[in-house]
């Protein structure tokens, strides 16, 4: 039986960090065993919010793809490509926008939240309202069965499904399958300061950070506020450092928990050990990163092969859709 197809994307807005690793990349890498995978760099989506500063976009795209490969996304098994290189995304985005009710977009919780929260960029644009429509176009161009996403993206997936139902109903077709969300069972990793991990808070460990920086960042992490002296028993479940043990090192988790709760270790040492574990975890990734950075031709070959495969699939869908609309 043919493998089911999954599709996912990531916006190239900066360096990838540990949150991307637990939240998406390690999951993507695993899914390659079971599914035919399309992984897309969502550069148009990035521009929807970063349109005032496109200068670093190209660099972010290449840097992110290097991280994907270093984290085990395998170009021999998966299609890796850049959204803007496949013009059909914008074509289908427009076609779907013909039938997408304005109210659905205006009520979309992610849209309302971003408008409210982001105050250093002007997001009251025509395109930004259509963000989920472009996302629907991404998924539907490849007729993906499932979409691995974080919880924050569920409203966009629901919107995609609504668009599919309307499209199929209007044009009496089964052109598009309703895509399912594949929620990864990972815990949401907080930033180093215990706030949401975010580029604008600069509270993350990048996959490309040096050993020195990683040690420093871990040493600066917030810990259990009730643990003042080494002799105080800690509450690991209230400590962000412990949540990193839990997210990345299940084999060390119980030991770390016990030593904290019984005051057998001080926070400085506990963090030193966490930093050492993180360095071990990232070492092979960084080694691959360095090799890939030296081989820009190989990277271009992968992206060009990805473009060809994506283009083939996207072209088929668009012809089908245009026929249904008599254009």
Residue numbers of the site for ligand SF4 (CB under 6 A)? 223-224, 227, 234, 236, 239, 241-242, 260, 265, 267, 270-271
**Residue 140 interface partner, choices ligand SF4, ligand TRP, none, CB cut-off 5-8 Å depending on type:** none
Count each helix (H run) and each strand (E run) in the chain, helices first: 15, 5
Report phi then psi at 231, rounded to 5.
-75, -15
The H or E element containing residue 148 is strand 146-149
Between residues 116 and 172, which has the closer beta carbon with respect to ligand TRP? 116
153 is an interface residue for ligand TRP by CB under 6 A: yes
Least Å from the CB of residue 67 to ligand TRP: 15
| Binding positions for ligand TRP, 42-101, rule CB under 6 A | 42, 45
**Residue 223 interface partner, choices ligand TRP, ligand SF4, none, CB cut-off 5-8 Å depending on type:** ligand SF4
Among 5, 11, 60, 227, binds ligand TRP (CB under 6 A): 11
| CA gap 222, 2 in Å, rounded | 48
**Residue 270 interface partner, choices ligand TRP, ligand SF4, none, CB cut-off 5-8 Å depending on type:** ligand SF4
Q: How far is CA 297 from CA 239, 301, 327, in A?
A: 44, 6, 39
Count residues binding ligand TRP (CB under 6 A): 13
> How many angstroms separate the first and last alpha carbons of the chain?
35
Q: What DSSP character marks residue 181?
A: E
Only segment of 146-154, 208-216, 268-276, 307-315 that touches ligand TRP (CB under 6 A) = 146-154
Contact 268, 216 (CB under 8 A): no
Both structure tokens of 58 = 């190209």
Report, in this order, helix, strand and coil percent for the chain, each rounded to 5.
60, 10, 30
Binding mask 192-231 for ligand TRP (x = CB under 6 A): ----------------------------------------
Q: What DSSP character marks residue 167?
A: H
Q: Cβ-count burial of 279 within 10 angstroms (0-12 exposed, 13-18 middle, 19+ buried)? A: middle
Only segment of 51-59, 90-98, 135-143, 185-193 that touches ligand TRP (CB under 6 A) = 135-143
273 is an interface residue for ligand TRP by CB under 6 A: no
Q: How far is CA 271 from CA 65, 191, 214, 266, 276, in A?
A: 30, 15, 11, 9, 9
Least Å from the CB of residue 208 to ligand TRP: 20
Between residues 92 and 275, which has the closer beta carbon with respect to ligand SF4? 275
E-strand ranges in 34-102 read 36-41, 78-82
Between residues 139 and 159, which has the closer beta carbon with respect to ligand TRP? 139
**Residue 11 interface partner, choices ligand TRP, ligand SF4, none, CB cut-off 5-8 Å depending on type:** ligand TRP
Q: Which positions lie near ligand TRP, rule CB under 6 A?
A: 7-11, 42, 45, 135, 138-139, 147, 149, 153
């Amino acid at each position: 039986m043919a493998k089911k197809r999954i599709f996912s994307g990531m916006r190239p807005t900066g360096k990838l960090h540990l949150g991307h690793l637990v939240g998406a990349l390690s999951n993507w890498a695993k899914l390659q065993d079971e599914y035919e995978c399309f992984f897309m760099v969502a550069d148009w989506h990035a521009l929807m919010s970063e349109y005032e500063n496109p200068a670093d976009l190209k660099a972010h795209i290449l840097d992110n793809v290097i991280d994907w490969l270093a984290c085990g996304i395998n170009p021999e098994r998966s299609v890796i490509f850049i959204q803007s290189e496949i013009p059909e995304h914008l074509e289908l985005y427009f076609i779907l926008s013909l039938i997408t009710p304005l109210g659905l977009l205006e009520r979309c919780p992610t849209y309302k939240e971003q408008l409210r929260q982001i105050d250093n960029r002007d997001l009251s644009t025509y395109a930004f309202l259509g963000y989920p429509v472009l996302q629907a176009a991404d998924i539907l161009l490849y007729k993906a069965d499932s979409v691995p996403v974080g919880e924050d993206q569920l409203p966009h997936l629901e919107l995609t499904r609504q668009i599919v139902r309307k499209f199929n109903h209007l044009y009496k077709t089964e052109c598009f399958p309703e895509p399912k969300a594949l929620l990864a069972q990972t815990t949401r990793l907080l930033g180093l300061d215990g706030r949401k991990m975010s580029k604008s808070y600069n509270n993350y460990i990048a996959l490309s950070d040096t050993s020195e920086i990683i040690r420093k960042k871990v040493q600066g992490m917030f810990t259990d506020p009730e643990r003042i002296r080494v002799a105080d028993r800690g509450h690991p479940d209230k400590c962000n450092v412990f949540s990193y043990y839990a997210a990345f090192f299940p084999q060390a988790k119980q030991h770390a928990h016990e030593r904290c709760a019984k005051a057998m270790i001080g926070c400085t040492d506990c963090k030193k050990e966490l930093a050492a574990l993180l360095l071990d975890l990232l070492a092979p990734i960084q080694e691959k990163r360095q090799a890939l950075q030296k081989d820009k031709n190989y990277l271009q070959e992968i992206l060009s092969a990805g473009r060809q495969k994506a283009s083939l699939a996207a072209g088929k869908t668009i012809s089908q859709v245009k026929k249904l609309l008599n254009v």
